Structure 1
Amino acid sequence: MKQPHILCQKEEIAPNILLPGDPARVIRVAGFLDEYREISWNREFRTITGTYKGMPVTVTSTGIGGASAAIAVEELIQCGGKNFIRIGSAGAVQKNIALGDLIIAEGALREDGASRMYVDEGYPAVADPALTLALSHLCKIKEYPFHQGIVRSHDSFYIDEEDAIMEKWHRKGILGSDMETAALLTVAKLRGVRGASILNNVVLYQGDLRQGIAEYVDEEKVTAEGEKREIEVALEAFCRI
C-alpha cells in the first residue's frame, strides 16, 4: 500500500535514506549514484531509489520545516527505512564557520513545533552515535572543514526577535540553525531507527540571510562545493555502518 504523502510503498524504499530539503537536490544526489529510478514526486516529497557502490539507497526531499520532515520520516519508516541522514543547509551561529563548511549535529535544540507535538521539550533530540562517528571520521579523512556539536532547529527565518535569539545561542555555543534536524532526530529516536544530520553552511554568522540564500542557489559559489561534500560523506557513512 502506498503511503499517503510520499506515495511510496515498501518494495520501493531502501533501508538507507538521504533526506535533502530541496526536491532539486534529489537529482543532484542522483549524480553520485551508480544508477537510480524516480519513484514518486508529490508536493515537496520527491523520491528516487538507486545504488551507491552497489548499496541500495533512497533519497527523499522533505521540503521546508520540521512538520513535512516528520511526515516523510514516518512514512519512510513504514516502507522499511532504517538509517536516515539529513543532508541540508544551515546558517552559522559561530564566527569561525565559513561558507561551505560542514556542520555535523550531535544533537539539536528543539525550537521547532513538530518535535514538540511528539514529546515534551525536555526529551533530547540526539543523533545516532554510529552514523555521527562515521560522518566525522570521513570528514577528517577527506580533510573537509567541519564542525561538530549542537545545532538549533526553528520554524521561521523572519521573526522579529531573530537577531536576539541568534546572539543568545551564539553565546551558548550552538553551531548553526536549520529547520528540520530536531524533528528528524526526535522521530528517529522515538521510532527506534537511526538518525543523523550533516549540514552545509550557507550563511555566515551575522551575515545577510537573503544574500546567503541567493549565493547558495548559484552553483558557482563555494556553498555548492559544501553540498557536494555533504552528499559524498553521507553516502560513504552508509557504507561504513
Structure 2
Amino acid sequence: MEKYFKESELIINPDGSVYHIKLRPEHIAPTVIVVGDQNRVETISKHFQKVEFKIQSREFTTHTGIYNNTPITVLSTGIGTDNIDIVINELDAAVNIDLEKRVAKEKHTSLDIIRLGTSGALQSDIEVDSFVASTYGLGLDGLLYFYQFDEAILEKELMDAFINQTGWNEKLPSPYIVKASEKLLNKIAGDLRQGITATASGFFGPQGRELRIPLAYPELNHRIEKFEYNGKVITNFEMETSALYALGKTLGHNTLTVCDIIANRVNRTYSKDYKKSVEELIEYVLDKIIS
C-alpha cells in the first residue's frame, strides 16, 4: 500500500509548492547549487544567459536558469544543519512526491546538489582564498540519528578512528561520517585540495570559539586538527556538509561541498578580499558543471 503523506507532515502551500522553500517541481533543475547567503544567489545567477524563475520565501531564495545550455537552480539555505534538513527534505519532496496525491512518485529523480560555501581551514598548509572539496562530511551535529538510515552510508573505520583519537566525550552528539558523491567528486573536485570537512552545530562554542561563555572542551579543536587516519585529515570547519551528505545519500541524491577558505584557524589568518575568491570559485564550479 502506498504511503500517504499527511497534511501535518508534508505541508503544501495554496499554490502547490512545498512549504518553506516554496518550490514546485517545474522550478527545480537537475543540478542544484546551494549557498548559505541569500545575496550569493544573484552573484551566481548573474552568470546565467537566462533566469526563468525567481522565488523568495524567508531565507530561501531560488533562481533557476540556463548556463551554457544547462539548466541550473541556485538556492540559499541559510546557516546550519537545521536549515539543510528543511531544504533537502523539501527539494526531495518536490521532485519525488506527487504533491497533489501525496504519495511517492513511481520514478525516482536524483538531483546533483553542490554546496558552494565559505569555511575556515584547520590545517596550517591550506592557504586562505584557496578551495577545498569535501571528500567526507564529519557530522558533529547529531542530525542523522533522528532518522532511520542504511548504515552502509557510514564510514565506520574513519568514525571509530576519530572517536578514539579525539577521546570524544559521550555528552556530545555521536559523530557520523558520510562520503561525497563519487560522480561529483570526479566531475568537479579533481583539481582541488580534498579532505574531511567537520560540520558543527554552531559557530562559536561548537567550533572552539570562546567569548563570554567558557568552552566545556577547550582541547577539542586541537585534537580535531591533529586527527589523521590513513593519510586523511580534517581540512576545514563549517555548518552544513554532514547533513547535506547524509540526507542526500539516504534520499538518493548526489552531493558535494566545495568551500572557499576565508580563514585559517591554525595560522590565525583571514582573507583580505574573500568576495573575489568566492567569485573565482563560482566560475570554477559553473564551468565544471558544464564540462
Q: Structure 1-normalised TM-score?
A: 0.85
In 2: Cα distance, 1:107 partner to 1:41 partner: 31
Tell me which residue corresponds to 2:142: 113
In 2: Cα distance, 1:206 partner to 1:175 partner: 11
Corresponding residue to 1:23 among 34, 38, 61: 38
Once the two structures are superposed, residues 14-65 of structure 1 have per-residue CA deviations (whole angstroms, 9 ceiling, x without a partner) of 1100000000100101122112144321111110100110110000001000
Corresponding residue to 1:103 among 127, 132, 135: 132
**Structure richer in helix, relative to its length:** 1
Tell me which residue corresponds to 1:52: 67
CA drift at 1:234: 2.3
Distance 1:88 1:162, change over 3 A: farther
Does 2:273 correspond to 1:227? no
Does 2:77 correspond to 1:62? yes
Does 2:258 correspond to 1:198? yes
Distance 1:238 1:163, change over 3 A: farther
> Where does structure 1 lack aligned partners over 5 or more consecutive residues?
141-145, 216-220
In 2: Cα distance, 1:123 partner to 1:207 partner: 27
Corresponding residue to 1:7 among 13, 16, 22: 22
Does 2:179 correspond to 1:179? no
Tell me which residue corresponds to 2:183: 130
In 1: Cα distance, 2:186 partner to 2:222 partner: 29
Indicate conservation of the 8 Å contact 1:107/1:126, yes or no.
yes
Counterpart of 2:123, as a letter, is Q
In 1: Cα distance, 2:124 partner to 2:141 partner: 24
Counterpart of 1:106, as a letter, is T
When structure 1 is superposed on structure 2, of 27-36 and 55-64 the one drifting more is: 27-36
Indicate conservation of the 8 Å contact 1:102/1:200, yes or no.
yes
Q: How many residues align?
A: 224
Once the two structures are superposed, residues 90-140 of structure 1 have per-residue CA deviations (whole angstroms, 9 ceiling, x without a partner) of 111001111111110001111023333235857532100110122223xx3
Q: Give secondary structure in 2 for the equivalent of 1:150.
A: strand
CA drift at 1:162: 7.0
In 2: Cα distance, 1:113 partner to 1:233 partner: 32
Indicate conservation of the 8 Å contact 2:123/2:225, yes or no.
yes
Distance 1:151 1:123, change over 3 A: closer
Q: Structure 2-normalised TM-score?
A: 0.71
Counterpart of 2:223, as a letter, is K
Distance 1:88 1:163, change over 3 A: farther
Indicate conservation of the 8 Å contact 2:113/2:254, yes or no.
yes
Q: Give secondary structure in 2 for the equivalent of 1:50.
A: strand
Indicate conservation of the 8 Å contact 1:18/1:86, yes or no.
yes
Q: Give secondary structure in 2 for the equivalent of 1:228.
A: helix
In 2: Cα distance, 1:117 partner to 1:178 partner: 21
- Whose Rg is larger? 2
Q: Give secondary structure in 2 for the equivalent of 1:14.
A: coil
Tell me which residue corresponds to 1:155: 201
Q: Give secondary structure in 1 for the equivalent of 2:188.
A: helix
In 2: Cα distance, 1:122 partner to 1:178 partner: 15
Counterpart of 2:274, as a letter, is T
> Where does structure 2 lack aligned partners over 5 or more consecutive residues?
1-15, 96-109, 152-173, 206-214, 228-232
Q: Give secondary structure in 2 for the equivalent of 1:237.
A: helix
Identical-residue share of aligned pairs (%): 26
